[in-house]
Structure 1
Amino acid sequence: MAKIKPFRCIRPNVDVVSRVAALPYDVYNREEAKAEVEKEPLSFLKIDRAETQFDDSVDTYDAKVYEKARETIEAMIEDKTFVADEDACYYLYELIMNGRSQTGIVACASIDDYMNNVIKKHENTREDKEIDRINHVDICNAQTGPIFLAYRATKQLNEVVDKVKQETPLYAFTSTDEITHNVWKVVAGEDNNVIEKSFADMNQIYIADGHHRCASAVKVGLKRRSENPNYTGEEEFNSFLSVLFPDEQLMIMDYNRAVKDLNGHSKEEFLKAVENKFTLTIIEDGAYAPEKKSTFGMYLDKQWYKLEAKEDLKAITDPVEGLDVSILQDYLLNPVLGIEDPRMDKRIEFIGGIRGLEELERRVNSDMEVAFAMYPTSIAELFAVADANRVMPPKSTWFEPKLRSGIFLHSLD
């Protein structure tokens, strides 16, 4: 039983929403984030990455950076850049990329559901990355970036979403990367009731993206509970800002790999080793993007190859070991190229599929030796791993488009 509740939203004034909305904080390094804020002074990055408001001598994680983020939120509420809705309700958030639409329900999810595994995970988190967002949420007293959740589509929720989308949107804008963003406020009481009950009937909801932000939000909630021993469970700190999407609308892109060297092998030795577990075909014309599971593209020495896992690898049924990212890691990257721990090994880099195969070619032609184009992990595979209470290998999924921060804020008061 999932508790997905409406909330009182703090959101941008309609006149400036397109200027405020920003890509997630972890998409940028410090230099890039600072350049974005200089280019657009209203960008939410000045809150999500408040070190952009200091010179480079100030540490990114200095306490005054988080205090600056809080002060900036308060100032933007004061000057009406942000407005606070008085009623608790749900919102719809539609993103359209290259003609493909996905619409999520903006709401607050329960920290108890996270701890009880109603909200399922597929990725481990790192404490150092959590601490930054714990400080940001706690000091700002607000969650500023929504967690990307997924659920198995239902007829009832699809009908409510379709109905509300017939109304005039609250926001409608296209960002500089040509993604269209539409937002609706769900105002009818019966629609809110259907949404709440539909999620209450679900036993599983899944984190698609944002494991660190989610874990951080939960830890802030637990901290607030310890500070308020008479809490009822209904306080705002007991839930975290989310956008929930039906599985049938989501697209996972490929998350590709590039390696700096052949681990001491000559080209001929490397190709021979690859053929122990993969059928290798030279691609005569252009780049090769895998067309089905258990196939891989490989770019080496200005030549593309198709790799197809041999039958014994295709027969693996374990939800983690049978993933394409696992097969490549366990039967090529580790035994042949010596990449034992892809989380730590500096010889491997991960390249999001949004950059295209041209980026793999560019890297191999410049500073890398070999690159691998992956067939995307499916949402069904993600669900299967999470249902088994397992975790995926690092960099298994790349979701596009990215949810914007700054459109929805959830106060912990």
Structure 2
Amino acid sequence: MAKIIPFKAVRPTRDKVSLLAARSYDSYTSAQVESRLRDNPFSFLHIINPGYKYQKEISGEARYSLVRNRYQEFKEDGIFMQDENPSYYFYRIVNRDGLEFNGVVAAASAQDYEDDIIKKHEDTLEYKEVIFEKYLKTVGFNAEPVLLTYPDHDELAAIIAKVMENRPEYEFTTTYRDTHYLWAVDDADIVAKVSAIFSEMNTLYIADGHHRSASSCLLAKHQNEENKDAKKLESYNYFMSYLIPESDLKIYEFNRLIKDLNGLSKEEFLVQLDAIFRIENRGEEYYKPFKKHHFSMYMDGNFYSLFLRKNNYEINNALDGLDAQILFKTVLKPILGIEDLRNDTRIEYSHGKNDLAYVRNLVDKGEFTVGFGLLAVTTEELKQIANEGLKMPPKSTYIEPKLRSGVTIYEF
């Protein structure tokens, strides 16, 4: 049974939250980072890029200590405050496309992660887990929740909706035109009901944040080995999460862009594809896959539809039936010679919000030779792969909502 608990969040004062909240650091260009650091002294980017204060690039463990220092300075300057009572944080995001996400920011159990109550669908890289564990141990906080999803629950939805009838603690719109709302909930009856509802759930699924959750759990494991004081360990045994119902989850595809044809001519490549797919040249007509095992391909000014010849492909489990895996096993590896999807520099990825016009443009500019469009993974596919203990290929899903750092902070 899932253990999801309230916590005393450190969070910005109401007048500063819109200035402080930041996207994931990797989503900014260097120019965007520079402008925000230069023009906004309250941005959370100042905390995670502490070398800016000295106009110096600082990395590794030296940076971690400075992150901790900058975070403490924000607290000392009254930019952050901490809630007096453990709370659940009901959180709504309405994005620029009109999609709405309603959920709960809370602390999830590291033991539930270890016991597979919290299930995973992506592999993590060990070196990244170790690096981020060191970071967490030094800075002493989580600032970006892991995105978890749970089965739709009418009673919990009603509780959340009722609270959201009241004025939110935060209401702010980002430059991305996403509007965020937060309600801090410490009412004892509501807290008890929400805790009880989550405790009845047998399974939760990680939607986004596999490395963050894995690193948090690695930290909990090592802290438990090193320190037998259970009271001190309590905070380490949890990690901050944003939990939303499955029906709120929005999954986009990741399209593939390949730099060359592995020494093949276009004609030779098409002949090899014909053994696996039924191919139709669509000319300049944009073709987007509309069902499983159908793919779009763009090459040399033409779109192609590729329909899998199922008599030549065997599906033995949920992973075998995943379109990203099919493309890897039938085309990327055997024909194009791409074996390492994470590190091969000949392949790049474009999430589906960029659409196939983006893929076409990059191929037409000569940056890539061929692009493949995929159908988005469904929530049921994600769950089935996790339930079978399997892992998707990298960049199989682009999932919304995308969360902001620094709105709620969980301290260890």
Query: TM-score, normalized by length of structure 1?
Result: 0.94
Instruction: Give the aligned partner of residue 343 of structure 1.
Output: 342
Whole-Å separation in 1 of the counterparts to 2:335 and 2:28: 33
Residue 16 of structure 1 deviates from its aligned partner by 1.3
1:223-280 Cα deviation digits (max 9, x unpaired): 3223321315872111111101111111111111000001111111111211211121
Question: Which residue of the partner structure matches residue 409 of structure 1?
Answer: 409
Tell me, in whole angstroms, the C-alpha distance in 1 between the residues paired with 2:50 and 2:322.
38
Where do residues 212-227 of structure 1 align in structure 2 (5 Å cutoff)? Answer: 212-227=211-226
Q: Deviations over 1:184-225 (max 9, x none)?
A: 122332221221111111111111111111111112222322
**Secondary structure at the counterpart of residue 372 of structure 1:** strand
Deviation sequence 1:47-76 (CA, Å, 0-9, x none): 2343444545x4422x22111111111111
**Which of 69, 73, 76 does residue 71 from structure 2 map onto?**
73
1:271-320 CA deviation, whole Å, 9 max, x = no partner?
Answer: 12112111212224542222222111111011111112123368725111
- Per-residue CA deviations over 1:70-120 (Å, capped at 9, x if unaligned) read 111111111111111101010111111211101121000011111111111
Alignment partners' CA distance in 1, 2:323 and 2:75: 47
Q: Which moved more, 1:362-371 or 1:221-230?
A: 221-230
Q: Residues of 1 paired with 2:135 and 2:30: CA distance? A: 16
Equivalent residue letter for 1:370: V
**Whole-Å separation in 2 of the counterparts to 1:156 and 1:337:** 51
Instruction: Check 1:195–1:315 CA distance in 2 against 1; reply closer, same or farther (3 A cut).
Output: farther
Q: Secondary structure at the match of 1:235?
A: helix
Residue identity (%): 36
Alignment of 1:116 with 2:128, yes or no, is no
Q: Is the alpha carbon distance of 1:183 and 1:365 closer, same or farther for their aligned partners in structure 2, counting shifts above 3 Å?
A: same
CA contact (8 A) 1:286 1:304 kept: yes
- Aligned match of 1:293: 292
Shift in Å, 1:401: 3.3
Query: How do 1:300-311 and structure 2 match up within 5 A?
Result: 300-311=299-310
- 2:126 is aligned to 127
- Please name the residue that 1:318 is paired with: 317
Question: CA–CA distance in 1 between the matches of 2:245 and 2:377?
Answer: 17
- 1:149-180 Cα deviation digits (max 9, x unpaired): 11111112111111111111111111111111
Asked if structure 1 preserves the Cα contact closer than 8 Å seen for 2:86 and 2:186, the reply is: no
- Answer whether contact 1:156 1:194 (CA < 8 A) is retained: no
Please give the alpha-carbon distance, in whole angstroms, between the structure 2 residues aligned to 1:45 and 1:268. Answer: 49
Query: Does the Cα contact within 8 Å between 1:294 and 1:314 map onto a contact in 2?
Result: no
Counterpart contact for 2:7–2:410, Cα < 8 Å: yes
Please name the residue that 1:171 is paired with.
170
Which segments of 5 or more consecutive residues in structure 1 lack a partner in the other structure? none
Of residues 136-145 and 182-191 in structure 1, the stretch that sits farther from structure 2 once superposed is 182-191
Cα distance in structure 2, aligned partners of 1:137 and 1:41 = 24
Match of residue 189 from structure 2: 190
Give the corresponding residue for 1:399: 399
**Counterpart contact for 2:6–2:86, Cα < 8 Å:** yes
Instruction: Give 1:374 shift.
Output: 1.1
Whole-angstrom CA distance in 1 between matches of 2:407 and 2:210:
20
**C-alpha spacing 1:65/1:105, structure 2 compared with 1 (3 Å):** same
Superposed CA deviations along residues 345-397 of structure 1, whole A, max 9, x for unmatched, are 21111112222222211221221100011111111111111111111111111
Q: Is 2:331 aligned against 1:332? A: yes
Structure 2 residue matching 1:70: 3-state secondary structure: helix
With the length of structure 2 as denominator, give the TM-score of the two structures. Answer: 0.94
Aligned to 1:255: 254
Q: Does the CA contact (< 8 Å) of 2:227 and 2:233 recur in 1?
A: no
Is it true that 1:159 corresponds to 2:158 in the alignment? Answer: yes
Change (3 A) 1:52 1:247: farther
Distance apart, 1:27 and its partner CA: 2.7
Report the Cα distance in structure 2 between the residues aligned to 1:172 and 1:212, rounded to whole angstroms.
29
Between the two proteins, the alignment pairs up a number of residues equal to: 410
Computed over aligned residues only, the root mean square deviation of the Cα atoms, in angstroms, reads: 1.9
Contact (CA 8 Å) 2:284, 2:301: kept in 1 or not?
no
CA distance in 2, matches of 1:41, 1:133: 26
**What's the offset of the Cα at 1:29?**
6.4
Instruction: Call closer, same or farther: CA 1:314–1:225 in 2, change over 3 Å.
Output: same
Q: 2:90 aligns with which of 82, 89, 92?
A: 92
SS of residue in 1 equivalent to 2:230: coil
Q: Secondary structure at the match of 2:195?
A: helix
CA–CA distance in structure 2, aligned partners of residues 49 and 306 of structure 1: 45
Q: Distance in 2 between matches of 1:59 and 1:236?
A: 29
Letter in 2 for 1:290: P
> Residue type of the partner of 2:41?
P
- Decide which moves more: 85-94 or 130-139: 130-139
Change (3 A) 1:359 1:39: farther
Give the equivalent residue in structure 1 for 2:50. 50
Question: Counterpart amino acid of 1:406?
Answer: G
Please tell me the residue identity of whatever aligns with 2:42.
Answer: L
Amino acid at match of 2:20: V
User: Are the counterparts in 1 of residues 284 and 302 from structure 2 also a CA contact under 8 Å?
Assistant: no
Instruction: Report whether the alignment pairs 1:242 with 2:257.
Output: no
Provide closer, same or farther for how the CA distance between residues 13 and 67 of structure 1 changes in structure 2, counting only shifts above 3 A: same
Equivalent residue number for residue 3 of structure 1:
3
Alpha-carbon spacing, 1:132–1:31, altered in 2? closer, same or farther (3 Å): farther
Moved more, 237-246 or 129-138: 129-138
SS at the partner of 2:330? helix
The 5 Å alignment of 1:130-141 reads 130-141=129-140
Instruction: Name the amino acid aligned to 1:355.
Output: N
Trace 1:381-392 onto structure 2 (pairs within 5 A): 381-392=381-392
